[in-house]
Amino acid sequence: MSKYGLSGYSLISFLMYLMSFSVLSLIVFEYGIHMNKNGFFQQHTVNSIISLSIACDVLMRDICQAPAQLVMWKECSQNMLIWRFSNKDIGWYLDNTMLVRVEGVYNKNQGSWSSKRKSVVATHIKSITFIPRHTEDKKKIRAVDIVLISDKGQQRCRKQTINLINRVLA
């Protein structure tokens, strides 16, 4: 027995409880179940992010790796960003109230994805706006402004600007 009344056994049992709780919460958040329009449950593999600010940080981290050359971008509009990175296309868009990140091959002519991996990054998103700022010669994207608004609890991510030219990558 130690000075505080905890033995080695109680410490180990507490650590086992903590580890089992972590594994259980990982399973719950890794496999989200959503109901589709017909009322049937469909399962999506999601990496759930609860906080809007964390979702915004993940989005910014991803866009910081995006190329500045406009020819590498497949779609750059107010509600969708798709660019080519390391032999795959990466896209972000709003699907109903879910912020979605997609990896795969995007066909710009058909507007569809093939061999995709789709992750729901955040839910309860009211709106997202991407504002690309081009260089004067229109050959590069200088920066991307992001405004992300949640419909839950009036959360709002302040306007974030991500510079794609003259950036320092760690």
Kindly report the pTM of this predicted structure. Answer: 0.61
Q: What is the pLDDT of residue 158?
A: 54
Q: pLDDT tens digits for 129-160?
A: 787 787 888 777 777 777 777 766 555 555 55
Q: Which long-range contacts (CB under 8 A, 24 or more apart) does 41-46 make?
A: 44/118, 44/120, 45/119, 46/119, 46/120
* Segments making up each domain of the chain, as ranges: 8-43, 48-163
Residue with more model confidence, 10 or 8: 10
- Compute the mean pLDDT over every residue in the chain, rounded to the nearest whole number: 71
Of 14-23, 38-47, 107-116, 140-149, which has the strongest mean pLDDT? Answer: 107-116
User: In angstroms, rounded to a whole number, what is the distance separating the alpha carbons of residues 97 and 41?
Assistant: 17
Q: pLDDT tens digits for 56-91?
A: 777 878 887 878 787 788 887 778 888 888 888 988
Encoded tokens for 5:
């009344």
